[in-house]
Structure 1
């Protein structure tokens, strides 16, 4: 069966919308706790966004893989390599953007000597590539076994190569030294205060499994999820199976957390298992209400629009603020008597959002919601024009 599930499109679109929300606060100093990442171990709602997106990548793969398998090795490798390189390259370009920066009163080209190599899109590209190859050659059963091996292998590497007594800390985790040696310290993320990349090479092991699990669930839904009125029993059986699977994975992830802490920044195996369980819960609930109970409403259409151009709008949400940052609006003088400037988005936050009554987090949240509305309007226009930018 090749039934297309509207709920999967809504799931993907909602994930993109949440990505924009958590990545675009008015001020990084004023964020409500649920919209922050966990400092190290643990999970907040924000820590679910990226694994849910990778899970959605796997869901989508379940619908295109049959065509790639029918086309043979030549078509498969051409499609997968092209898409992988494009997504990775776009991620690199986004890291370099907007390509120039202000130096005094003039613009100069941004140097490449400290360009961050990895990032969200780069991780998506690598996970998509390896998951596609594993699924294509090993099929469903082999992909599941390979996923289990990857999770256990990553755990063993952490235990064997990590600093004794400090295996899962920022300093003791084994992957950081390997990322430094391969990528170079100058090309790593420095937001943790030291060179450390949360989308580094070693932590990609378990992230690949997120896509594989997404594929397996998407394949199961596609084959077993006939939501026609004449197949009500089959639909409920499929939903029940998803909830049971989600429960098993969630409990397993929590149990594993006791010896291998749930941690997004080093993407531990327990984190993969736990967040996959939560993603399946979400998908199952959406299928129940949207496909079986035929729920309708503006919110579903709102998220669906985001799902039509997910990668494009994610890239735009990263590029546009940086590009507009080159526009300088005078904003008085600093303590040294030098002129200060705001970007158009910065002016909008300072003069409108920041004036919202209450604690500063209110204005920061209003700004983030405003960004969602702006990018939704762009997605809506593209959808109306039937413009779908695929990579």
Structure 2
């Protein structure tokens, strides 16, 4: 247990990284579910209708605010790696870091199966192997770790570009960009088969692929690695550059360049988050760089962290926040205490339970933060 739970590190931490990670997790396990629960009652109001669309995934082509949460999660993992890997890069004996990488990969993959892979169903028909953000992080982390440990920065950039170009080429020349015709979909169906998410069983015991599930994972792992490496490059800028103002400007400039590249490529390769197209990778990477540059400028350069430090409650226990938020239903506790309100609030009762659910999660995370208990993998 002690290998997973630690007190805060004594070395200096990059505050903007913890706060931006916390912002991403706060959106995921508090703001979005609570906002949607209440705002759906006001969907006839144009403003709330617009915001509801922004806090739901786009059905296929296009990009909404909510589509940034997963890429930002991977990006943040990469951004921390130049700091956490620093002492291992130049050492001759890398056995310790290899063990850390393997352990983290396995734990994240298992947690992904707990969160979304139906592992706790204890039913082989229900278990899904590769289907969750935590597993995408595990794969992106593994790819980025190997590049950081064994290649120079120049070759890291070259291999990252090759991964992106390879994925672009496979999707462009071996299929199309429709839900049924894209090559990533074909690979997932061939490799994962019945353990792919979205599979369902009919009464005759036969399994089938659902037409409603279109997320891809196996071949898409290439660009999970690219997104994580974009975070690595951002981390390298913040770590190696002594002038924090110039670091901020460079992060923002790279972000703008990636946005432009993603927009230009979208004329040939549509921005589709579900299959993580190359244009989506560039577009989301640009937004991640812009957010990192903004938070780095405000927090680490201007030292304007007042009013933002509470986000560390989420950011410094991000895996716990995500796992508890996705797996544990605290509504039963809330319902036990608040059931008498239902006759007074009517249809809003479900939204109130949602608010209570994620408030309880926040209180748990806040208690852990105050006790200086941070779960590391």
**TM-score (structure 1 length as normaliser):** 0.80
2:240 corresponds to 1:223: yes
2:171 corresponds to 1:154: no
Distance 1:209 1:353 in 2: 48
Among 88, 110, 114, the residue aligned to 1:93: 114
Query: How many angstroms does 1:353 deviate by?
Result: 8.7
1:319 maps to which residue?
327
- Assess, with a 3 A threshold, how the Cα gap between structure 1 residues 319 and 65 changes in structure 2: closer, same or farther: same
- Assess, with a 3 A threshold, how the Cα gap between structure 1 residues 142 and 303 changes in structure 2: closer, same or farther: same
Among 117, 135, 151, the residue aligned to 2:148: 135
Distance 1:129 1:286 in 2: 26
2:206 maps to which residue?
none
Query: How many angstroms does 1:252 deviate by?
Result: 0.6
- How do 1:1-391 residues align onto structure 2 when only pairs under 5 Å count? 4-21=13-30, 22=32, 26=37, 32-71=52-91, 72-95=93-116, 99-100=120-121, 110-118=122-130, 119-162=132-175, 167-189=176-198, 193-194=210-211, 196=213, 198-224=215-241, 226=242, 234-298=243-307, 300-321=308-329, 369-391=355-377
8 Å contact from structure 1 (residues 15, 49) kept in 2: yes
Distance 1:170 1:348 in 2: 45
Q: For the aligned residues, what is the CA RMSD? A: 3.0
Distance 1:237 1:95 in 2: 41
Query: How many angstroms does 1:273 deviate by?
Result: 0.9
Alignment size in residue pairs: 346
| Partner SS for 1:168 | coil
Distance 2:310 2:353 in 1: 18
- Assess, with a 3 A threshold, how the Cα gap between structure 1 residues 155 and 386 changes in structure 2: closer, same or farther: same
Distance 1:379 1:288 in 2: 27
Distance 2:181 2:334 in 1: 39
- Assess, with a 3 A threshold, how the Cα gap between structure 1 residues 354 and 23 changes in structure 2: closer, same or farther: farther
- Assess, with a 3 A threshold, how the Cα gap between structure 1 residues 315 and 349 changes in structure 2: closer, same or farther: farther
**TM-score (structure 2 length as normaliser):** 0.82
Structure 2 residues not aligned, in runs of 5+: 1-10, 44-51, 201-208
8 Å contact from structure 1 (residues 243, 280) kept in 2: yes
Distance 1:356 1:252 in 2: 49
Deviations 1:77-131 (A, max 9, x none): 211111101111121233355835xxxxxxxxx4122311111111111111111
| Partner SS for 1:99 | helix
- Assess, with a 3 A threshold, how the Cα gap between structure 1 residues 387 and 265 changes in structure 2: closer, same or farther: same
1:340 maps to which residue?
none
